[in-house]
A and B are shown apart, each in its own frame.
Chain A
Amino acid sequence: MSQPLVPDLFATCKVLTGAILWVVQQILLALGAVIPPLKDLGNWLASDPVVSAVTWLVVMTVMLLWAVLINLLTMMWVERKFYSRLQDRYGIMVSIWSLPIWPFNRKDRPTHKGWGYLQNVADGMKLLQKENLTPRGADSAMFHMAPVLIASSTLMIFVALPWSSGFVVAKPDLSLLFILAAFSIAPFGILIAGWSANNKYTLVGGMRAAAQLMAYEIPLILCVIALVFTTGSLDVYEIVAQQERTLVTLGPLAIPAWNLFGPQALGAVVFAVAMMAEMERIPFDIPEAEAELVEGWTTEYSGMRFGLLFGFKWLRMIAGAGLISILYLGGWTGPVFTVVQVAGIPVPIIPEEVWFMLRVYLLSVVFIWISWSVPRIRIDQILQLGWKRLIPLSLLAILLAAGASLVGW
Chain B
Amino acid sequence: MPGFWINMGPQHPMTHGLWNMKVKIDGETITDAKPEIGYLHRGYEKIMEVREFQKNVVLTDRLCYVSSLTWSHAYCLAAEKMMGLEVPVRGQWIRVLALEIQRVASHLMWLAAYGPDLGLLTALLWALRERELWLDLLQLLTGARMNQNYPRIGGVRNDLPENFDGMCRRVITHFEGKLDEYEKLLHDSKIFHLRTLGVGRISAEDAINWGVTGPNLRACGVNVDLRRLDPYETYDELDFEAQVWKGSSAGDSYARFVCRFNEMRTSCDIILQVLEKMPTSGAYRTKEPRRAEGDGFARTEDSRGEALFYILGDGDDRPYRVKIRSPIFCSMAATPLMLRGNKLADLVAILGSIDVCVGEMDK
Measuring CB to CB, which residues of chain A are less than 8 angstroms from any residue of chain B? Answer: 83, 86-89, 200-201, 204, 208, 282-283, 285-286, 289-292, 294, 372-381
Contacts and interface: CB of A to CB of B under 8 A. Distances in A.
Interface string B71-101: 0000000000000000000000000000000
Interface string B1-19: 0001010100011100000
B192 to A, nearest CB: 5
B122 A373 contact: yes
Most chain-A CB neighbours within 10 Å: which of B28, B119, B121, B346?
A: B119
Contact of A289 (B12, B25, B120, B345): B345
Contacts of A204: 6, 25, 28, 344
A377 B194 contact: yes
Interface string B327-345: 0000000000000000111
Contacts, number: 82
Given A291-B348, A375-B118, A88 B126 contact: yes
Nearest to A378: B345
Interface in B180-213: 185-186, 189, 191-192, 194-195
Contacts of B348: 291-292
B302 interface: no
Contact of B12 (A285, A294, A379): A294
B344 A292 contact: yes
A292 B120 CA distance: 13
B125 A374 contact: no
Nearest to A285: B119
A36 B323 CA distance: 98
Given A282-B120, A291-B119, A376-B119, 13 more contacts: A86-B122, A200-B4, A200-B6, A204-B6, A291-B13, A291-B116, A375-B120, A376-B195, A376-B345, A377-B194, A378-B346, A379-B345, A381-B194
27 contacts: A87-B121, A87-B122, A88-B129, A204-B344, A282-B119, A291-B13, A291-B116, A291-B118, A292-B344, A292-B348, A372-B120, A372-B122, A373-B120, A374-B120, A375-B119, A375-B186, A375-B192, A376-B118, A376-B120, A376-B191, A376-B195, A376-B345, A377-B195, A378-B194, A378-B343, A379-B345, A380-B343
Contacts of A374: 120, 189, 191
A372 B121 contact: yes
B172 interface: no
A100 B167 CA distance: 44
B256 to A, nearest CB: 16
A292 B12 CA distance: 8
Given A88-B126, A88-B129, A376-B118, A292 B195 contact: no
